[in-house]
Amino acid sequence: MTRLFNDPAAFADEALEGFAAAHRRWVRPVTGGVVRAGGTPEGQVAVVVGGGSGHYPAFSGLVGRGLAHGAAVGNVFASPSAAQIRSVARAAHGGAGVLLMYGNYAGDVLHFGQAAERLTADGVETLTYAVTDDVASARPEEADKRRGTAGDLPVFKAAAAAAERGLPLQEVRNVAAHAGARTRSFGIAFSGCTLPGADHPLFTVPASRMAVGLGIHGEPGIGEAELPTADEAAELLVATLLKELPEDVATPAGQRAAVILNGLGSVKYEELFVVYRKVAALLEEAGVETVDPEVGELVTSFDMAGVSLTLTWLDDILEDLWRAPTDTPAYRKGALGEPEASAAPAAPAADTEDAAIPAASDASRQAAGTVLAALEAVAATVDTHVDELGRIDAVAGDGDHGIGMRRGSTAAREAARAARDLGAGAATVLAHAGDAWADKAGGTSGALWGTVLRAVGTALGDQEAPTAARVAEGVAEASAAVQRLGGAEVGDKTMVDVLVPFATALTEAVAAGDGLTAAWDRAATAAAGAAAATADLLPRKGRARPHAEKSLGTPDAGAHSLALITRAVHGVLLDHH
* Tens-place pLDDT, residues 166-214: 999 999 999 999 999 999 999 999 988 888 888 788 778 888 889 898 7
Q: What is the helix (H) or strand (E) element at residue 46, kind and residue range?
A: strand 46-53
Question: How crowded is the C-beta side of 342, counted as CA atoms within 13 Å?
Answer: 19
What pLDDT does 10 receive? 86
Coil, helix or strand for 48?
Answer: strand
What pLDDT does 275 receive? 98
Structure confidence at residue 340 as a pLDDT band (50, 70, 90): low
- Answer yes or no: is pLDDT of 99 > 80: yes
Whole-number Å distance between alpha carbons of 377 and 488: 27
**Contact between 398 and 147 (Cβ < 8 Å):** no
Phi, psi of 205 (to 5 degrees): -120, 130
Candidates 444, 434, 391, 443; CA nearest to 557 is 391
**Which among 23, 69, 178, 217 is annotated as catalytic?**
217
Looking at residue 9, its amino acid is: A
Average pLDDT, the chain: 91
Instruction: Report whether the peptide linkage leading into residue 252 is cis, meaning its omega lies within 30 degrees of zero.
Output: no
Whole-number Å distance between alpha carbons of 177 and 298: 21
Whole-number percent of the chain with pLDDT over 70: 94
Q: Quick one: how far is CA 496 from the chain centroid?
A: 19
- Answer yes or no: is pLDDT of 347 > 50: no
Q: What is the pLDDT of residues 116-131, one digit of tens each?
A: 999 999 999 999 999 9
Give the Å distances, CA to CA, from 295 to 244, 272, 364, 506.
Answer: 22, 7, 59, 56
Whole-number Å distance between alpha carbons of 82 and 354: 14
Looking at residue 534, its amino acid is: T
Q: Is 151 exposed, middle or buried (0-12, 13-18, 19+ CB in 10 A)?
A: buried
- Answer yes or no: is pLDDT of 380 > 60: yes
Q: Is 248 exposed, middle or buried (0-12, 13-18, 19+ CB in 10 A)?
A: exposed
Candidates 186, 169, 188, 75; CA nearest to 125 is 169
What pLDDT does 352 receive? 44
Coil, helix or strand for 395?
Answer: coil
Q: What is the pLDDT of residues 469-516, one digit of tens each?
A: 999 999 999 999 999 888 889 999 999 999 999 999 999 999 999 999
What pLDDT does 439 receive? 87
What pLDDT does 188 receive? 95
Candidates 171, 18, 33; CA nearest to 99 is 171
Sheet with 27-30, edge to edge strand ranges: 27-30, 33-36, 70-76, 46-53, 98-103, 126-131
Of the ranges 146-150, 252-256, 539-543, 544-548, which one carries the lowest mean pLDDT score? 544-548
Coil, helix or strand for 287?
Answer: coil
What pLDDT does 1 receive? 58
For 302-330, what is the mean pLDDT?
A: 96
Phi, psi of 410 (to 5 degrees): -65, -45
What pLDDT does 414 receive? 97
Structure confidence at residue 349 as a pLDDT band (50, 70, 90): very low
Q: Is 55 one of the annotated active-site residues of the chain?
A: no
- Answer yes or no: is pLDDT of 351 > 60: no
What pLDDT does 193 receive? 86
Structure confidence at residue 390 as a pLDDT band (50, 70, 90): confident
For 571-575, what is the mean pLDDT?
A: 94
pTM comes to 0.85
Please count the helices (runs of H) and the strands (runs of E) in the chain: 16, 14
**Contact between 495 and 534 (Cβ < 8 Å):** no
- Answer yes or no: is pLDDT of 350 > 90: no
**Contact between 207 and 190 (Cβ < 8 Å):** no
Give the Å distances, CA to CA, from 252 to 150, 315, 359.
Answer: 21, 13, 67
Structure confidence at residue 415 as a pLDDT band (50, 70, 90): very high
Of the ranges 110-119, 239-248, 340-349, which one carries the lowest mean pLDDT score? 340-349
DSSP per-residue string spanning 447-461: HHHHHHHHHHHHHH-
Q: What is the DSSP letter of 265?
A: B
- Please, which residues have CB within 8 angstroms of residue 410's CB and are 6 or more apart in sequence? 9, 379, 383, 440
Structure confidence at residue 396 as a pLDDT band (50, 70, 90): low
Whole-number Å distance between alpha carbons of 360 and 340: 50
Q: What is the pLDDT of residues 40-87, one digit of tens each?
A: 999 999 999 999 999 999 999 999 999 999 999 998 888 999 999 999
Alpha-helical runs (H) found in 324-361: none
Higher pLDDT: 526 or 553? It is: 526
- Answer yes or no: is pLDDT of 348 > 50: no
- Answer yes or no: is pLDDT of 156 > 60: yes
Of the ranges 33-42, 288-297, 436-445, 557-566, which one carries the lowest mean pLDDT score? 436-445
